[in-house]
C-alpha cells in the first residue's frame, strides 16, 4: 500500500510502500502523480535502483531529456552525475534556481537519486512558488504580473565546479530565453513566480535599473522561510520535484567529503 506522508512544511512529502525496482501499474502511477502535483516534491527513501530501473521510473512520469552542459553516464544518455569531490569547494548549482529556465522548453521535473552523501550536510532546500506568488506584496505583484523575463545560462556558469569535467564547447554555450515572470501551471492551473536569481537578469520593456530593483526584491521574497522546506539526504533516497512551481538550493556545507548524485530531467512545455 502506497503511503504519502506530508513533510510538515509548505511543500514536500515522503512516499513509502512502493518498490521502484519494479514497474509501476497504471493505478499506482496515477496515485503518485496526483500526490506530486499536490506536494510539489516527492521523496522516496530506500530505493537502491539500478540505472535502468531509475530510468524506467522516470519514464512513468514523463519523457527524459538530455542536459546541455554535463556529459551523461557512458551507457545512460539521460542520466548525469552531479558530483562534488572532497577537494572541491564549490558545489553544482549552489544557488536558488529552477532548472534550466533559460531553455525554450524548460523541464517539467527533475529527479535526483543519492548514490553517496557526506556524513552530514549536503541537504537541499525547496521553495514553494505558488505560495510565494499568493503572498506577493501588491507593489511586487504589479511589477511581475503580465511581464516577460529575460533568462540566461551565462550567470549560472560562474558557480559551477564542473568546468574541469566539461569540454570547451560546453563551457562556451550560452542559452537565452524569454518567459513569463509569472506562469500558469499546465496541470494544476495555479499561478507561480517563474524567475530566479541564478538565471533571470531582466524584465522585457522595463528599465534595467528598475527591473533589477524589482527582481532583487522578488528574489528575497520567494525564498522566505515560510515557503521553504529542507530535505536531508540519505543513500538511495530519490527525490522528484516540479520544476514549474518550486525552486531548489543545494547547500554547500560539506567541504572535504564526497557527494555523488544521479540526475534525470523530464521534458517540459513552453511556459505560459
The residue ranges of every structural domain in the chain are 3-266
**Looking at 67-71, 142-146, 155-159, which range is the least confident one?**
155-159
Helix (H, G, I), strand (E, B) or coil at 110: strand
User: Do the beta carbons of residue 41 and residue 240 sit within 8 Å?
Assistant: yes
pLDDT(37) > 80 = yes
Q: Exposed, middle or buried: residue 143 (CB in 10 Å: 0-12, 13-18, 19+)?
A: buried
pLDDT digits (tens, 9 = 90+) for 146-167: 999 999 998 665 455 554 566 6
Instruction: Specify the pTM.
Output: 0.94
Q: Exposed, middle or buried: residue 219 (CB in 10 Å: 0-12, 13-18, 19+)?
A: middle
Helix (H, G, I), strand (E, B) or coil at 217: helix
Choose the CATH number for 3-266 among 1.20.1280.290, 3.60.130.10, 3.30.460.80, 3.40.50.300.
3.60.130.10
pLDDT digits (tens, 9 = 90+) for 95-116: 999 999 999 999 999 999 999 9
User: Do the beta carbons of residue 100 and residue 80 sit within 8 Å?
Assistant: no
Find the angle CA(105)-CA(109)-CA(113) to the nearest 5 degrees: 135
pLDDT digits (tens, 9 = 90+) for 166-215: 666 666 678 999 999 999 999 999 999 999 999 999 999 999 999 999 99
DSSP string, 150-210: EEESHHHHTT-S-GGGS-HHHHH---EEEEESEEE-TTT--EEE---TTTEEEETTS-HHH
Cell of 63: 519523457
User: Do the beta carbons of residue 79 and residue 263 sit within 8 Å?
Assistant: yes
pLDDT score, position 161: 52
**What are the backbone angles phi and psi of residue 54, rounded to the nearest 5°?**
-60, -45
- Interval 124-135 mean pLDDT: 98
Amino acid at each position: 500500500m502506497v503511503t504519502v506522508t506530508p513533510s510538515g512544511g509548505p511543500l514536500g512529502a515522503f512516499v513509502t510502500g512502493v518498490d521502484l525496482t519494479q514497474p509501476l501499474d497504471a493505478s499506482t502511477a496515477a496515485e503518485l502523480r496526483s500526490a506530486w502535483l499536490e506536494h510539489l516534491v516527492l521523496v522516496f527513501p530506500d530505493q537502491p535502483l539500478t540505472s535502468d530501473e531509475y530510468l524506467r521510473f522516470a519514464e512513468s512520469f514523463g519523457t527524459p531529456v538530455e542536459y546541455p552542459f554535463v556529459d551523461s553516464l557512458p551507457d545512460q544518455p539521460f542520466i548525469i552525475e552531479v558530483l562534488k569531490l572532497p577537494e572541491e569547494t564549490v558545489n553544482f548549482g549552489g544557488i536558488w534556481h529552477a532548472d534550466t529556465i533559460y531553455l525554450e522548453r524548460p523541464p517539467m521535473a527533475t529527479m535526483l537519486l543519492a548514490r553517496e552523501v557526506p556524513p552530514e550536510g549536503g541537504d537541499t532546500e525547496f521553495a514553494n512558488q505558488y505560495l510565494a506568488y499568493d503572498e506577493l506584496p501588491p507593489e511586487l505583484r504589479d511589477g511581475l504580473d503580465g511581464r516577460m523575463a529575460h533568462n540566461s545560462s551565462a550567470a549560472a556558469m560562474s558557480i559551477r565546479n564542473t568546468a574541469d569535467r566539461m569540454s570547451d564547447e560546453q563551457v562556451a554555450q550560452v542559452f537565452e530565453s524569454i518567459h513569463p515572470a509569472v506562469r500558469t501551471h499546465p496541470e494544476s492551473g495555479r499561478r507561480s513566480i517563474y524567475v530566479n536569481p541564478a538565471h533571470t537578469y531582466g524584465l522585457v520593456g522595463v528599465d534595467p535599473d528598475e527591473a533589477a530593483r524589482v527582481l532583487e526584491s522578488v528574489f528575497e521574497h520567494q525564498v522566505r522561510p515560510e515557503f521553504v522546506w529542507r530535505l536531508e539526504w540519505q543513500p538511495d533516497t530519490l527525490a522528484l520535484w516540479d520544476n514549474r512551481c518550486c525552486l531548489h538550493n543545494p547547500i554547500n556545507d560539506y567541504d572535504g567529503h564526497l557527494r555523488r548524485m544521479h540526475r534525470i530531467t523530464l521534458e517540459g512545455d513552453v511556459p505560459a
